[in-house]
Amino acid sequence: MTAFILYKSIICLAIFILSLTVAAYASWWERKLSGFLQDRYGPNRAGKWGLLQPLADGGKMLFKEEIIPNLSNKFLFVIAPGIFIITTIVAGVLIPWAPPVKIGDTYYAMQATDIDIGVVFLLGVTSVGVYGIMIGGWASNNKYSLLGAIRASAQMISYELAMGISLIALIISAGGTLSFSEILQVQDAGYANVVWQPLGFVIFFVCSLAETNRAPFDLAECETELVGGYHTEYSAFKLGLFLFAEYMAMFVSSAVMAGFYFGGYNFPFAAELYQAMGLEEGSWIITLIGFTVYFAKTLLFISVFMWIRWTLPRFRYDQLMNLGWKALLPLSLLNLAITVVVEFIRGNIQF
**Cα separation of 81 and 94, whole Å?**
22
> Does 154 help bind another protein (rule: CB under 8 A)?
yes
- Write down the least CB distance from residue 39 to another protein, Å: 5
Comparing CB distances to another protein, the nearer of 283 and 303 is 303
Comparing CB distances to another protein, the nearer of 8 and 102 is 8
Q: Exactly one of 56, 68, 86, 115 binds another protein (CB under 8 A); which one?
A: 115
Q: Exactly one of 135, 169, 184, 245 binds another protein (CB under 8 A); which one?
A: 135
> Does 68 help bind another protein (rule: CB under 8 A)?
no
> Does 308 help bind another protein (rule: CB under 8 A)?
yes
- Within positions 235 to 264, which residues make up the interface with another protein, using CB under 8 A? none
Could you tell me how many residues make up the chain?
351
> Does 41 help bind another protein (rule: CB under 8 A)?
yes
Count of other CB atoms within 10 angstroms of residue 82: 15
What are the start-end ranges of the E strands in the chain? 101-103, 106-108
Scanning 23-31, 153-161, 252-260, 286-294 for contacts with another protein by CB under 8 A, the matching segment is: 153-161
> Does 40 help bind another protein (rule: CB under 8 A)?
yes
Comparing CB distances to another protein, the nearer of 101 and 299 is 299
Using the CB atoms, write b or e for 155-167: b if 16+ within 10 Å.
Answer: bbebbbebbbbbb
Q: Nearest 10 degrees: CA dihedral of 111, 296, 210, 91? A: 10
> Does 138 help bind another protein (rule: CB under 8 A)?
yes
User: Could you tell me which residues come within 8 angstroms of residue 260 by beta carbon, excluding any fewer than 6 positions away?
Assistant: 167, 170, 183, 193, 204
Longest CA pairwise span in the chain (Å) = 68
- Write down the least CB distance from residue 146 to another protein, Å: 6
> Does 267 help bind another protein (rule: CB under 8 A)?
no
- Write down the least CB distance from residue 22 to another protein, Å: 22
- Write down the least CB distance from residue 306 to another protein, Å: 10
Write out the DSSP string of 95-118.
---SPPEEETTEEE-SSS---TTH
Burial class of 328 by CB neighbour count within 10 A (0 to 12, 13 to 18, 19+)? buried
- Write down the least CB distance from residue 29 to another protein, Å: 13
CA 196 from chain centre, in angstroms, equals 22
Q: Exactly one of 146, 168, 199, 300 binds another protein (CB under 8 A); which one?
A: 146
> Does 162 help bind another protein (rule: CB under 8 A)?
no
Closest to 61 in 3D by CA, of 81, 86, 77: 81
**Cα separation of 199 and 184, whole Å?**
19
Q: Exactly one of 4, 107, 307, 344 binds another protein (CB under 8 A); which one?
A: 307
Q: Exactly one of 310, 333, 334, 338 binds another protein (CB under 8 A); which one?
A: 310
Contacts with another protein by CB under 8 A lie at: 36-41, 44, 76, 115-117, 120-121, 123-124, 126-128, 130-131, 134-135, 138, 146, 150, 153-154, 157, 160, 178, 307-308, 310-312
